[in-house]
Structure 1
């Protein structure tokens, strides 16, 4: 488009001021300021029309994070949310401390005047590194506040309106100037025309009067009376001439004022345009082709690393600013525009004086004279270095996709392959041309797998899925991959495709099988002595009975059959024992089958009792209605053997091993606090001993491969890592607790098989609440949601806070109604310990339940000097939460 006068419609500072900021009296207490800041307040911007400049949410409501201290209209100080955190951390008693004692008095303010605009306010905010700028009038009284967020919104909106045609004054051939508003010129021009009309009218009247004067002069010689009349008429004419001169002077003053206003408006428009161009990293240029005259905006030099207001160089000097490799491209683009009339668009690199490289984009429009010849090329230049860097990053990331060894595939919801990287080519053998647009199920699987349908349903429902899949390559080789699926959405949030990352774990799975077998052989070696002893006991009756049979007892048939029964029973015992040992030692991985845990425990117990020392006592408790699981018999048998062998080694002088199982329903509250758990039906299998136990530093490492506390040559350190791997592969998880001198307890959770009899919901037979108000504090929204649902269903009233500051503010408002506080220990900004100490200062009798998934109960209690009524470790069930709350509410300190 041609350059024309432009009107820049910045909002004024008055429009951006919040005229109703939060204020408080200096004699108020600090707790009142905290409560005031925790509320939300409508922004009071000056004009409703500002909604066209800002997002509606900004204009309607924003969270308050500062309070101004005002007395008799005068601003005394300020307190921000950051100041509150520092004050509380210093140990100040917030309920007894006045605002005047802790407010910040060293303030940066801005006096509102006609010469003040949004750029002045922005400069102060940036210079002093502050977020809030109070506005005061000429007497120093507070009129409002400006925030950096409001100014950012103002600068980010399109507030430069369309270009308007410049007004031209007749017969003067004014130049067209960019950015000048014509409104003042038009209005004053109308006024001048009206005054000029009055002037002409007066002038005509004067001419007529002069004619009359001539007639009077002719009659002057005739009579004295006529002379006197002429004198009088002359005086009247003089008065009219005086009025005309006065009107002419007024007109000249108005014309002078118009010129001054016009020049001032021009300067302001140029300044605003310059600021807008600098903010947008853009400059404007104009090349008059016939005269070879070039002009550019004052800020154009900045785009080439030159000082601001650098004069436009000649064509030759300008090309020196362009990267040598791009000069020909730039010149060719100019030539094509002039000769062919195409739009001028070119991207090129500029070399700054410091040798740094910056990417620029120039676009221009060609204009023609009355003869149809090119006369002007006008356009803009802007800095696109950031865009080029982003493009380069995308290219690098695309290259990385081809470098990685993992197969990265994108397929639509109908399993049609859309993207196929080089890693996929190497892993599966098909090239990109062969794979794209093919059906993934037909290409990568021997036969349709129901697991794929379940995976698609899961990824559409939750957004992610991961698991192990058996796929085939182009050569027909079957491989195992760890597959991770992520749902991709379009701009409207609707699912459009699935991103799949496959890692070949075939060798890893083979090594795992070898590791499992090695560990099984280790356990078998441990049991070898007991097995030999037991086999000897089995074979001894067989040998003795055989020898007796050689003597033949034809006359004693009853004794004969008795000896035969002994031989048969002992032979069966030996065969069963050998069968169990061989099955355990070989460790062949079988298909997943329905397994009754009760039978599995019985088989394990048979071997353990026959091989463990007699000083080891077993206690078994398995309910008759225990549900089944789906799994590998050999692997689960190995899990049980590893745990009981470890329990035996932890009790060298003898002890008791307890094995019990129960049906368990994992609810949403427990599942959200344990990353490995999902809501549903489980079998909870517990293996506990009363041995030596483990300290925390050992407990944290027990599942690491090759970590062992046994002597060299006794253990490989693979036992518990194998247990964890098997349980996770079955969709379960493990919880371990141990205490030195008290023993260790392993809890294994295995999912119950589908189609099993429904499990009764966990008995939550706890008394209902009596409408008590409970304050729940946690930075996790899901935790607040679950706790609210559980407690409200049991007749409690709930207040929730997402951090320590909100908790303090809510407690200050409802201190006499809140009966207990459930406080998370690990939170941003203010942790649970600081918040608890503050609440205890406000009310020494406050009842607090500390909740944490990191620290053990003993450490938490020690930190707060045993002033916490109860510690509830994460994860916890709904029953745990309700029972803990009942205990705190029904028991006095």
Structure 2
């Protein structure tokens, strides 16, 4: 009820309706009457007698005569001003919560999500509309035991704080600092739980790296202290074996001495490996053709690997030179080949290939370990068991091994990565469970003037755009910036989106102009496959290039199922991107 009486009559009522609401209210009433409705209802602003404005809920019941014609309307209005103010306040607070850097979630006592802010969307990858209504416990928690423990503590004490392991939409592990607060209703009964989660994943990784560095420093100190004594123990053994072999003619004893010599040498190599890893890699570097090292590895593989493992070697005749330590490079490649052998217990195919490659600014912008310039790429590929996704980030960690006790130290890949980085190179891994793994070792190369000139000519012949408009959708800012500059440099116009939802919105505005969409498969809010479906719904003929850093990503398979046939693997070069783009935009000549 309004606090003051108003004059009776429809004119008095009409004059008190807020000018901005009059047309909508009167149109609504006329529509209800004309369509034969029995009642009408609306909310609008209404002026009180003192001139102040109220927000009212007005209900009217339409009275009809015996012939069914409307003759009058009776009803009443309720002052909703307080509710409206509360709703506006809640909206303002929700807007502030959306601007918070932390993920803020509200759920009821049955675990159902009631509120999910923008930072929660960014952290976990689900949009608010997808998360609200779902069970928080099943959606983001890896360990439900710690969830129930925190729940019991919150219900008992009113709050709980601690670290938890969560998972995002891509099932990747997140570490968060979680703060739970019990919210009570007006009857002081437990009603819901407010959770504020701070992402600690990056910080935890830095802490792990710091602790690892401290551990390695300790290992270095320990190894340095004992290396001298160990070498003093091994040196006379190895020298004595050489003398004994000179005076020995019995074949059985010679084989025994060779076995002892091999074991002693292995012990010395193990000491040097630990020292190399803990203290850093030095060595004698020379300008060399990597084929010299690879030929030695080929001989070892042919002589010692099981016969059910086939071996293939490919390399160009004009392979560039690298400035490297041959022994260290052999150690890196031999370790990769041995790992490949161990992954193919039932047999398979091992391929060792070498090629010249020039990395451009686009590729190096996506891969912080690389620099633009010439490289020799050495690829070790197998058809073995593959490496599960959850292990790929850990296989280069020191002392991490999946082999049985006594069969691996966990230092092979870690030392290999250290050696390659010391040569200003890097390693890329692509793997798919059940299909095999591929390690690409990139070593900076010394290109001859002739080959450098050839590459320069090839780069100037990269396909140019014709002022087409390209829509880029990628959640990585560095990739967006580099790709945008590259496309603009080669004659394209560019629109940029940070996620699938923004890409769909931009396409809705500029779809008639957009010639193609470059779409990342793994993005928050709306991922690549979902974006493809939305874009295809707007335009079934939309041309899309998919991009992904995971060769075995499920998103790629979904994209193929949705009709996307062009892909560029991350990190990609300008040549790969521009060539793929022209293939998409320029249909083949049917003639």
What is the TM-score when the length of structure 2 is the normalising length?
A: 0.51
1:591 is aligned to 283
Q: How many residues align?
A: 373
- Conserved? CA contact 1:592–1:630, under 8 Å: no
Rounded to whole Å, the distance in 2 between the matches of 1:639 and 1:515 is 25
1:875 is aligned to 571
- Conserved? CA contact 1:819–1:847, under 8 Å: yes
2:177 is aligned to none
* Residues 727 and 130 of structure 1: CA distance in aligned 2, closer, same or farther (over 3 Å): same
* Residues 578 and 681 of structure 1: CA distance in aligned 2, closer, same or farther (over 3 Å): farther
Higher alpha-carbon deviation: 855-864 or 792-801: 855-864
- Conserved? CA contact 1:861–1:867, under 8 Å: no
Rounded to whole Å, the distance in 2 between the matches of 1:810 and 1:516 is 63
* Residues 787 and 127 of structure 1: CA distance in aligned 2, closer, same or farther (over 3 Å): closer
Deviation of the 1:744 alpha carbon: 2.4
Is 1:668 aligned to residue 364 of structure 2? Answer: no
- Conserved? CA contact 1:811–1:818, under 8 Å: yes
Is 1:714 aligned to residue 407 of structure 2? Answer: yes
Q: How does 1:630-669 map to 2 (within 5 A)?
A: 630-669=323-362
1:612 is aligned to 305
- Secondary structure, in 3 states, of the residue corresponding to 1:685? strand
- Secondary structure, in 3 states, of the residue corresponding to 1:664? strand
Is 1:837 aligned to residue 529 of structure 2? Answer: no
1:820 is aligned to 516
Rounded to whole Å, the distance in 1 between the matches of 2:399 and 2:370 is 26
| Selected match of 2:485 from 789, 792, 811 | 789
Rounded to whole Å, the distance in 1 between the matches of 2:486 and 2:294 is 36
Rounded to whole Å, the distance in 1 between the matches of 2:45 and 2:224 is 71
Deviation of the 1:668 alpha carbon: 1.5
Structure 2: 5+ residue runs without aligned partners?
A: 1-17, 25-41, 54-83, 97-208, 229-244, 251-261, 277-281
Rounded to whole Å, the distance in 2 between the matches of 1:611 and 1:127 is 76
- Secondary structure, in 3 states, of the residue corresponding to 2:455? coil
Rounded to whole Å, the distance in 2 between the matches of 1:514 and 1:601 is 35
1:799 is aligned to 495
Q: How does 1:750-769 map to 2 (within 5 A)?
A: 750-752=443-445, 759=452, 760-761=454-455, 763=458, 767-769=463-465
| Selected match of 2:89 from 107, 114, 128 | 128
Deviations 1:756-805 (A, max 9, x none): 98745374566444443322223444333322333334443333334445
- Conserved? CA contact 2:227–2:271, under 8 Å: no
Q: How does 1:106-505 map to 2 (within 5 A)?
A: 128-131=89-92
Q: How does 1:30-109 map to 2 (within 5 A)?
A: 74=21
Is 1:507 aligned to residue 218 of structure 2? Answer: yes
Is 1:682 aligned to residue 366 of structure 2? Answer: no
- Conserved? CA contact 2:320–2:447, under 8 Å: no
- Conserved? CA contact 1:630–1:752, under 8 Å: yes
Is 1:629 aligned to residue 340 of structure 2? Answer: no
- Secondary structure, in 3 states, of the residue corresponding to 1:507? helix
- Secondary structure, in 3 states, of the residue corresponding to 1:761? helix
Rounded to whole Å, the distance in 2 between the matches of 1:599 and 1:682 is 17
- Secondary structure, in 3 states, of the residue corresponding to 2:313? strand
Deviations 1:437-470 (A, max 9, x none): xxxxxxxxxxxxxxxxxxxxxxxxxxxxxxxxxx
Rounded to whole Å, the distance in 1 between the matches of 2:574 and 2:582 is 12
Deviation of the 1:748 alpha carbon: 0.7
Rounded to whole Å, the distance in 1 between the matches of 2:538 and 2:329 is 55
1:850 is aligned to 546
Deviation of the 1:890 alpha carbon: 4.3
- Conserved? CA contact 1:823–1:850, under 8 Å: yes
1:362 is aligned to none
- Conserved? CA contact 1:777–1:822, under 8 Å: yes
- Conserved? CA contact 2:431–2:551, under 8 Å: no
Deviation of the 1:842 alpha carbon: 1.6
Deviations 1:588-642 (A, max 9, x none): 8653422422222233334443333455444333445433434444432221221
- Conserved? CA contact 1:661–1:686, under 8 Å: yes
Deviations 1:375-426 (A, max 9, x none): xxxxxxxxxxxxxxxxxxxxxxxxxxxxxxxxxxxxxxxxxxxxxxxxxxxx
- Conserved? CA contact 2:321–2:447, under 8 Å: no
- Conserved? CA contact 2:401–2:408, under 8 Å: yes
| Selected match of 2:442 from 749, 756, 760 | 749
* Residues 585 and 810 of structure 1: CA distance in aligned 2, closer, same or farther (over 3 Å): closer
Q: Cα RMSD between the aligned structures?
A: 5.1
1:729 is aligned to 422
* Residues 832 and 623 of structure 1: CA distance in aligned 2, closer, same or farther (over 3 Å): closer
Rounded to whole Å, the distance in 2 between the matches of 1:712 and 1:582 is 17
* Residues 512 and 880 of structure 1: CA distance in aligned 2, closer, same or farther (over 3 Å): farther
* Residues 668 and 640 of structure 1: CA distance in aligned 2, closer, same or farther (over 3 Å): same
Deviation of the 1:673 alpha carbon: 1.6
1:536 is aligned to none
* Residues 678 and 512 of structure 1: CA distance in aligned 2, closer, same or farther (over 3 Å): farther
Deviation of the 1:676 alpha carbon: 2.4
Is 1:702 aligned to residue 395 of structure 2? Answer: yes
- Secondary structure, in 3 states, of the residue corresponding to 2:408? coil
Rounded to whole Å, the distance in 1 between the matches of 2:296 and 2:226 is 23
- Secondary structure, in 3 states, of the residue corresponding to 1:675? coil
- Secondary structure, in 3 states, of the residue corresponding to 1:714? coil
Deviations 1:92-134 (A, max 9, x none): xxxxxxxxxxxxx9789999x9999xxxxxx9699724459xx
* Residues 697 and 785 of structure 1: CA distance in aligned 2, closer, same or farther (over 3 Å): closer
Deviations 1:288-325 (A, max 9, x none): xxxxxxxxxxxxxxxxxxxxxxxxxxxxxxxxxxxxxx
Taking CA–CA contacts closer than 8 Å with sequence separation of 6 or more, which of the two structures ends up with the larger relative contact order? 2
Rounded to whole Å, the distance in 2 between the matches of 1:730 and 1:832 is 37
Is the radius of gyration larger for structure 1 or structure 2? Answer: 1
Rounded to whole Å, the distance in 1 between the matches of 2:22 and 2:219 is 70
Structure 1: 5+ residue runs without aligned partners?
A: 1-70, 78-104, 117-122, 133-146, 149-481, 484-501, 518-538, 545-576
Deviation of the 1:645 alpha carbon: 1.5
* Residues 878 and 515 of structure 1: CA distance in aligned 2, closer, same or farther (over 3 Å): farther
Rounded to whole Å, the distance in 2 between the matches of 1:514 and 1:108 is 84
Rounded to whole Å, the distance in 2 between the matches of 1:837 and 1:623 is 43
